[in-house]
Homo-oligomer: A and B are copies of this chain.
């Protein structure tokens, strides 16, 4: 019999944990460093365990109790190759399950209900739960995926700023702001683009939404295209009886007003965050073993 349920949200910059008793009462929360299970599995393993120990300490419990606990970890890459399975085997808890970061986010947002979620930060990914069955789409990364993500918005902006510089598109406030930032030198824009990571492109996203709200034609064009891509992905996941769409991530609020009215009408606030989603799965695991995809 497992004593405690631990949910862990393993992220690229930090790892958060929460411990609950079998009835779901939250007892404590903890934190540790990054958990990149693909690029640094050893470091991830150490931080996952450290975050759980921190949560036990925070609850005034002996951290050694983790050995008689059930844990559910959500981490990016859990569905790729053997990364998730290897971490799951190495974890020192009584029962362990490793699932994707987007699955715990979906569970947090929807609770036990059916519905559709879309997450928009540096990247983008979608999930739906219908009659208990979870389906995920998107999340294929910056180069050939992650439509409507902050990184793709930023890349679109730099591309349009260069086209405006060349006189192919009209220059607007936002294209002038970008070119000014690079001292008017398109070659500097290209150099930035070639050394930058998705998060560097994503830094332009808040300005794009600000300018779009002000009516800047280029910013509006970028946001409208991104919102149309969201509408298409929602259409692929929605079914006639579905009543709930939750938008997650840093850009969720900004996109709200740009979606098609029928999608706006379905928008609901997420019930809880990804960490709560992991805890909720862990309570199931502590009680009856499975149900992770139910």
Total A residues in contact with B, Cβ cutoff 8 Å? 29
Q: Is the CB of A190 within 8 A of B233?
A: no
* 9 pairs from A and B in contact (CB 8 Å cutoff): A81-B187, A140-B162, A144-B158, A144-B159, A144-B189, A147-B159, A166-B236, A168-B233, A169-B232
Tell me if A121 counts as interface (CB < 8 A to partner B). no
Q: Which residues of B sit under 8 angstroms from A194, Cβ to Cβ?
A: 141, 143
Known: A143-B155, A143-B193. A166 touches B137 (CB 8 A): yes
A80 proximal to B (CB < 8 A) = yes
- A24 to chain B: which residues have CB within 8 Å? none
Instruction: Tell me if A186 is interfacial: C-beta within 8 Å of chain B.
Output: yes
For A137, A138, A143, A187, the residue with the greatest tally of chain B CB atoms inside 10 Å of its CB is: A143
Q: List chain B residues, Cβ under 8 A from A158.
A: 144
Task: Give the docked Cα–Cα distance between A197 and B223 (Å).
Answer: 29
Closest B-chain residue to A186, C-beta based? Answer: B140
- Docked-complex contact B232 and A137, CB < 8 angstroms: no
Interface residue A167 (Cβ < 8 Å from any Cβ of B): yes
Which residues in B have their C-beta under 8 angstroms from that of A235? 168
B167 touches A137 (CB 8 A): yes
B236→A168 contact, CB < 8 A: yes
Residues of B within 8 A of A163 (CB): 147, 232
Given the complex, which residues of B lie within 8 Å of A162, measured CB to CB? 140, 144-145
Asked if A190 and B155 sit within 8 Å, CB to CB, the answer is no
A15 shortest CB reach to chain B, Å: 24
